[in-house]
Amino acid sequence: MTILSGCLQQLMSAVEQALQDEAICHATGVRQLILTFYSPQPLPLPAWLAAQPHFPKFYWQPRDGNETVAVCGQVAQFTDPEQAGQFLQHHMDGAERLRVWGLNAFDALPQPGGAQQACLFVPRLTLHQQANTLTLTLNLSDPHALQGDLARAAAFLQQLQPASPLLPLHLTLTHACHQPDEAGWEAMLERALAAIADGAMEKVVLARKTVLTFSQPVDAWRMLAASQKVNHHCYHFLMAFSPTSAFLSASPERLFLRQGDQLTTEALAGTVAGHDDDSQAAALADWLMKSEKNQRENWLVVDDICRQLQGAAHGLDVMPPEIVRLRNVQHLRRGIHGQLRAADDAVCLARLQPTAAVAGLPRQPARRFILGHEPFARCWYAGSAGYLSRSQSEFAVSLRAAWLEGNQVHLYAGAGIVAGSDPAQEWQEIENKAAGLRTLLQDPAAQ
């Protein structure tokens, strides 16, 4: 018996005992069964989650790698963060450690007939590994009596499957296309530069979608596993909506971390190519640190974040710039810290998303330009992913992302356009960014 199967068997025993407890069976609202175990070795949570028949499924590993989380099934779902926050507030007594997981779309403003703005949910089951501890949390919810939901939870646990190894990807590409193509990209950027020159906006972040079609379905979990091996210092997350559709990301950017009333966010803007050679990478990083254009782009984001947080936070401190070195690119980053007047995650999301690093400045003209000129809908790309809870919440920006649907993979990458931007250089920048995921899908023999 594996460690995971033994832990899950103990959780099943706890459910059976709860079904014999009259007080629990007649309780109402939301309750949690929580078991903790000593687990000195990292567990194969992506492989375990891939094997489960329950949807939605969400995997989360923050960029510092200090925890991994696998959740599946749901007992409640929300279409916006405010609903989720109200749910957490209402059930704080019975489920103090409750977390709501999921995605927020790039364009989080509701529009008549528009796409879904958020997919946030309370999972049925959470597996959380941190340090040497594995915590299993089973969420129960029923407004009348928990006895019925305990029975449903028992059936849910009986359907869980053992993990299978996530084997390397071996794919045959049959078709690839960019939206826009390089000529369309140049034309779109020329229009953006003209709008910037006319004073309509200071900056706009424009994106490209690349649609890759393969001869067989693409396994999102195997793609995630491949990404974790090479894309370091990133948030790794995957939301599976069904057996054939999923959204995943290897994002370098935090939207925000809230711990009580303490807020940490950042400006990640300004980019140069990466390099395998340390000395050449250092030379490129030095150029980036001294680049007036890139420093200006980063400060635009810093100024926007500070303005957006006015009235919601005080004592904002901006950290000195640092270089973030990734596999294919390097970025400028400035951390920003402050104290919130109220620990309201819906307010933080509304004020910070989308940041100038993924939309532009001013926010509304840039957003209108994006919606009017990009030849595709961003949906989850450049939105955010993570969790809300009473004590702590964290969201990453959904960059370096892919939507998988059957045998197609949609890759997304964007670049910040300011006065002086060169369309050819920006095209190369999004090529470098997209390579972080695209190279995972190439036949190793062809590389």
What amino acid positions are annotated as catalytic residues?
203, 253
Q: Cis ω on the peptide bond leading into residue 354 (within 30° of 0)?
A: yes
Give the CA diameter of the chain: 72
Tally helices (H) and strands (E) across the chain: 12, 22
The distance in angstroms from the start CA to the end CA of the chain is 40
Q: Which residues are within 8 A (CB) of 364 and not within 5 positions of it... i.e. 6 or more apart?
A: none
203, 361 Cβ separation under 8 angstroms: yes
Within a 10 A sphere around the Cβ of 17, how many other Cβ atoms? Answer: 11
Euclidean distance between CA atoms 76 and 141, whole angstroms? 8
117, 106 Cβ separation under 8 angstroms: no
Q: What is the DSSP string of 248-267?
A: EEEE--EEEEEETTEEEEEE
Euclidean distance between CA atoms 179 and 211, whole angstroms? 8
Q: Which candidate, 217, 211, 225, places its Cα nearest to that of 242?
A: 217
294, 198 Cβ separation under 8 angstroms: no
Q: Which candidate, 258, 356, 345, places its Cα nearest to that of 300?
A: 356
Phi first, then psi: give them for residue 9, nearest 5 degrees: -65, -40
